[in-house]
Every structure is written in structure tokens, then in C-alpha cells.
Structure 1
């Protein structure tokens, strides 16, 4: 009997703590006039994903960027087997709009993005702001349901976009960047936030759900996403597709209240379970990242970086 129970525990335990993660990129085709131009960024990103055996990611896209180059960039992602998804037309802030205004912006993107072979009816709210009143939140949920969309929430939040800003500002200033240090900074900061939110999930759910990582279509993503994937796999994570991730039970979760500023699905669940502080990991802070970038990447004082 003891041997049977031990075998049962061995079989069940890994499943309850399975670490699975889908990778998504917001804001494509994002402005590209820094280290890479748009076509270079797309090529590097596609190559990095293929090299590291990432069969599919999702690019949450703004149709306002669909000039000739932007269309070609999204076509290249689509042709490589990746998902093109809806992130509104112009990336508006729902907190400052009516449901009707916001829905029109969403529907315009839906119309424009259907041209891509890889288009899927997944919608992510820009800034993760899904309605700062119950009326707005339920109103937009009804629009998504009517149009056959899935609310493409995230579980793993971070400020990779601000790391990109620090990187591009240094490049523009002609700073001689140590790319090994930049790589380590990028990977370490993201791994810290990933592990934090996974621990929060296990606290409140009793398990590690199918996670969705929020990244952005940026130069540092193209440069270092492969290194991030390597770090994840060393820690026992497996990479799954976004569509598989949204089959998790938490996809059906309905938060008890509204957020003016949403931390992501794990933060929603944690708040409903009574957690009041720490819904945003400490790395989601611009001043904090400036300090770490200065110390870990540039090895110079912060005030010299920001002059």
C-alpha cells in the first residue's frame, strides 16, 4: 500500500506543478528606428524563435501600423506559423473612452487584421485596461463575445518595454553597450517576475496554470528572447502555444471587481483571494530598472545615464 501511494504521489505531483508558458508579443508592428529597422527586427525574431524550437507565438497587433512595411512584417510572422491577433487599431486607453468608442477602434483592427493567414480572434486590451467601471468592463465583454473573440489575458507581467527604452536611449547616445551584460539584465529581470507570478499562482490556485507571458515586439526581444527561452527551460519550463494556454480553467475566471490598472489574471485572482499588496512585482518600476540598468549593464552611476 505504501508503495502504491508513493507511486501515485510521484505521478501526480509533477502535474500539479507543471510549468508551462506561452509567449506573446504586443504592439506589432511596433515602431522600429533604433538598433534594427522593421524588416531586420522581424527577421531576427523569426530566426530566434525557430532556432529555439518555438513553434508558435502570438503577435497582438495594432492596425494603425499597417503601412507597406508593417504589412510585410506581419506577413512574415504569419508565414512563419505565428498568430496575428487583435490589439486595437490605435492602442487607446480604455479608461479614457466610452465602450462605443473603444468597440469601434477594436472593430477597425478586426477588419484590417483579417488579411493575414495567421489571424486568430484573440483580443488583448492595450495597457491591460479592460474597463475602469463595471459597465465598461461588461460592455466590452459583450462586444468580444458577439464577435467570437477570446479575451487574451496575461498571467506574467513585466516592464520589458522600459528595458527597451533604456537600451535604445543608450544606443542613441553612442554608449558602448556590453551586450552580454544587457542579455543577462534582460533575462534575469524577466525570470524574477515570471517566478514571482508563478509562486503567487501556486499560493492562490494550488497549482501552476498554463501561463501567458507578455512581451513586446521590440529589438531586445529579437536579440534576447532565445536566451530567455534557454533560461526558462533550464528552470524546468516547457513552451506551449498561446491557443493551448487559453484552455486553462482560469480563462473562464470572472474577477469580482474592476481595476483601473490591471496587473494580469494572476493579480486579479490574488486580489479576490484577499491579497492587497504585491500584485505588481517590484521590477515593474521605471526608477528601479534605471538603477539596475546603470549598475548591471553600464557599470556607471545612474545620473550619468539619464543626462
Structure 2
């Protein structure tokens, strides 16, 4: 039997452990993937596309995370004709247990066209999606703005919000923004254009090794900003894309995020967080995190936005881009 002193030690340690556990923030995050069925789809041969698509879905299923994928139906067509193999890619996502949302038909820019034309492109973007989901008793319920261009005035945002609600959609915001798509462009560019096999393999390995730390640095930045703004950690929403980089790296990225203490939850669960009722104070032309939009509504000092990790210059060079 334990002595009274020993039990006191055990109880003290348990109390300390409980206090430490109670002090840990509740880190929750929802994963969303844009530009389905595939980013830069027309640049891949059909066998290559099929292999990369299968790797991405396998990695996500292995990671056992909820996902919402956002569809651009223009990518289903070749010469104006819907391709059954590309529709099957969406069916693969659905049958893997992942949700599918609307990302407009043509990945169009709200800030570059009239609102009514944008709304018509949203409806055009469900011509295949809605009946495909109906096969399993589902309906499309999530909408994601291309470029995160959400409207340059409260009036436009309100009108678009009313339209989306009328058609059964809820906006899928983004709190963990990044330029992952540039990293993915670099990855594709090296694979497609580097003629020296040894150099190609070395560069692609360098890109894979650097990608996860870059994404985690972005996660840390927005975690810190949201804690500073709200005094706590909200459930986060992460933006990525369907591409070869994530097919090769998303498993390690999910595992590394879990090592940071995050739980992956559904988008629906994330948006139950009261933070998402916050006003959007941004009326500019860029796409940006909702954390920054909420901060603008609070008129926080400019210093709040400082320190965001930037895309490394060597990756920009490999992607053939001058800026983010």
C-alpha cells in the first residue's frame, strides 16, 4: 500500500498535470482544398493526372482528416464538353467521404466583374456538382470566393451573402492564408522543365523539405495574430489546393500539425466558433485572411500585421514569379 506521503505526491503531480493541461489552448483546424478537380489541370497528361489525383486522395484518407474540396466546373470541360473522367475525379472525392463545395464555374474574380455576372457564374458552377451530390442524397452547401476576393464594400458583401443564402450556400472563410500555390508552381515547373535528372530530383526534394516548415510558420503567425486579436484561439480554417506538391507532402504536413497540438475538425464544426460572427472590416482589392479582416473592423494598429512569413526568394525564382 502507498503511504500517506506517497499519495500526497501522486495527487500533487496530478493537480499540476491537470493545471498544465487546462492552460493549453484548444487548437482546432479545418482543412479545405481549392481548385478541384486539379490545379493547372490542363498542363498534365491524363495518366499523370490520374496518378497524382490518386496519391492526394490516398494521403488524405490515410491522414484521416475531414476535408471540403472546392470545385471549378470549367475544369471538367475540354472544348466545351464535360469529360466523364474528370467528373469521376469529383466522384472519387465524394466517395472518399469528403465534402464538395462551389468555387464558381470559371474561378472568376468578384472584383473584376458585375455582381450579377458573378452570381450567374456561381449557379453555372453547380450544373454538374448538384446532381453528382444528389446521387448520395447530398446538396452543395459551401462556397469559397476565388482569390479570397469577397467584395469591396459592405453592400456587395451583404448582397452576395443574401444570394448565397437563397441558394443554400454558406461562405467558407479562410483564417490560415498562405502562398502554397506558388510553392506548388515551383514544384511543377522544376519537374516539367529541368532536364538534368539529378538536379531535378535534388530541387524537388529541397522543395518538399522546405514546404512543411513554411506552412507551419504561416500557421504559427496566424495563431499568434488571432490570439492577440481575440484573446484566445478560434477554430482555424486552412486553405490549400489540389496539386502534386500536396499529393506528395500533405501527409507529413497533417502529422506535423498534429504534433503542434492541433485537432482536425470539419468545416461545419469550425464555423460554430463565435469568432466567425465578427464583422469584416476590409474593403480593399486583395485577398486576405479573415483574421486580418476582423482586425480591420477593430481598427487595430498597423503593427498588428507585421511579421507575416514571406515566400522564400529561391522558391519564387523556381516558380518564375516576381512577387506573391
Q: Shorter chain as normaliser: what TM range?
A: 0.7 to 0.9
Unaligned runs of 5+ in 2: 1-11, 77-82
Partner Cα distance (1:72, 1:47) in 2: 16
Contact map agreement 2:225 2:304 (CA 8 A) in 1: no
- Write the deviation string for residues 189-243 of structure 1: whole angstroms up to 9, x where unpaired: 1000011001100001111111110001111011100010111111111111222
Partner Cα distance (1:215, 1:264) in 2: 13
Any idea what SS the aligned residue of 1:114 has? helix
RMSD over aligned Cα atoms: 2.7
Relative distance call for 1:153 and 1:29 in structure 2 (3 A) is same
2:68 corresponds to which of 26, 35, 58: 58
Partner Cα distance (1:26, 1:281) in 2: 26
- Write the deviation string for residues 82-110 of structure 1: whole angstroms up to 9, x where unpaired: 01101001011111111111110011113
| 2:80 counterpart residue number | none
Partner Cα distance (1:150, 1:99) in 2: 17
| 1:23 counterpart residue number | 31
Partner Cα distance (1:243, 1:280) in 2: 30
| 1:115 counterpart residue number | 131
| 2:266 counterpart residue number | 241
Larger Rg: 2
2:186 corresponds to which of 158, 163, 166: 166
| 1:137 counterpart residue number | 157
Relative distance call for 1:120 and 1:280 in structure 2 (3 A) is farther
Structure 1 position 159, deviation (Å): 0.5
Whether 2:66 is the aligned partner of 1:42: answer no
Give the structure-2-normalised TM-score: 0.81
| 1:186 counterpart residue number | 211
Structure 1 position 12, deviation (Å): 4.3
Structure 1 position 71, deviation (Å): 0.6
Whether 2:110 is the aligned partner of 1:85: answer no
| 1:157 counterpart residue number | 177
Any idea what SS the aligned residue of 1:22 has? strand
Aligned length: 290
| 1:297 counterpart residue number | none
Partner Cα distance (1:165, 1:260) in 2: 23
- Write the deviation string for residues 41-80 of structure 1: whole angstroms up to 9, x where unpaired: 22101111122222x2011111111232321111101000
Contact map agreement 1:20 1:237 (CA 8 A) in 2: yes
Contact map agreement 2:279 2:297 (CA 8 A) in 1: no
| 1:276 counterpart residue number | 302
Any idea what SS the aligned residue of 1:158 has? coil
